[in-house]
Structure 1
Amino acid sequence: MVWTLNDYPESMKNLKEATREKAIDIANALINEEGYEEGRAIAIAIAQAKKWIDEDQSSTQHVVPHPRGWAVKAENSDKASNVFNTKKEALARGQELASTNNTLLVIHRQDGTIEEQQNYA
């Protein structure tokens, strides 16, 4: 089973969109790559997504180059929370997260150097 944002388990319906998206990604990986049973994968995915999103969004956000385009990444995280085709899309998401969570947004150039910082605190 592969879930999408349009077709996901009923238990994910009340999650915030970003949390649901992360839970779907985690659940799909647990089932398809790790061989977990569906019910267990869903429960783990929801718990991990809530934890990951909360931790990710409360720290400084970075818009950084990514092999698949541009990413939004929390300062304390090894993984991108979102990946986009364009820097413009990543910047919009980074600004949304930084504004909602009253944090700093650091925007990087293609070479990884810092281009600009926007303070939403």
Structure 2
Amino acid sequence: MPWNMNDYPASMKNLEKVTRKKAIDIGNALLADGYPEDRAIPIAISQAEKWHEDAPDKEIQQEKQAKNPQKEDKHETNPNTKKLINANVLVKYQEDQWIVISEGAKQASERLAKKSEAIERGKRIAENKQSKLKVYKRDGTLQETLDYTTDK
């Protein structure tokens, strides 16, 4: 069920208002793409918090002034989402940086200078997706696989 600023998951209650607004919008987009609520909520919160940390002040001000998300808002859906929802998360070295990417995705979700930062980010994503994290060495060989799948 989509959310708005008056009706949202309890776990978003303590977020700063602009971060909650972003989390609701991200969460609604994930729901539109077929994510179940129990997976969309932690992903949306994590992504909104990361956005708030990294966004320039101007972008945060624009978000504060933007229209509040509504339950009936339309979101573009990605036909590959169903495949990527359960895809493993990879940490690989590419073009002089460490990337975090879902297996089968065309584009990295993160590009970081340090492998340790990429692994930490990959762990959070894999935990949220309840998938595996595959960490590769700089030479492209598999270093380790961390399993965050659960038997539900």
Alignment partner of 2:124 out of 96, 99, 113: 96
- Give the greater-gyration-radius structure (CA): 2
- Structure 2 partner of 1:83: 111
- Do 1:109 and 1:115's aligned partners in 2 also have CA atoms closer than 8 Å? yes
Between the aligned partners of 1:61 and 1:54, the Cα distance in structure 2 is 15
TM-score, normalising length: structure 2: 0.47
Percent identity of paired positions between Structure 1 and Structure 2: 20
In 1, Cα distance between the equivalents of 2:117 and 2:136?
Answer: 14
Q: CA deviation at 1:51?
A: 7.0
State how many pairs are aligned: 90
Structure 2 stretches of 5 or more lacking a match?
A: 1-20, 27-43, 56-72
> Is the 2:23–2:47 Cα contact (8 Å) retained in structure 1?
no
> Structure 1, unaligned stretches of length 5 or more?
1-10, 25-42
Q: 1:93 to 1:57 in 2, by over 3 A?
A: farther
Contact 1:68 1:83 (C-alpha < 8 Å) held by counterparts? no
Equivalence map 1:1-16=2 (5 Å) = 14=24, 15=26, 16=44
TM-score, normalised by the number of residues in structure 1: 0.58
SS in 2 for 1:47: coil
8 Å CA contact retained: 2:93, 2:140: yes
C-alpha RMSD of matched pairs (Å): 3.4
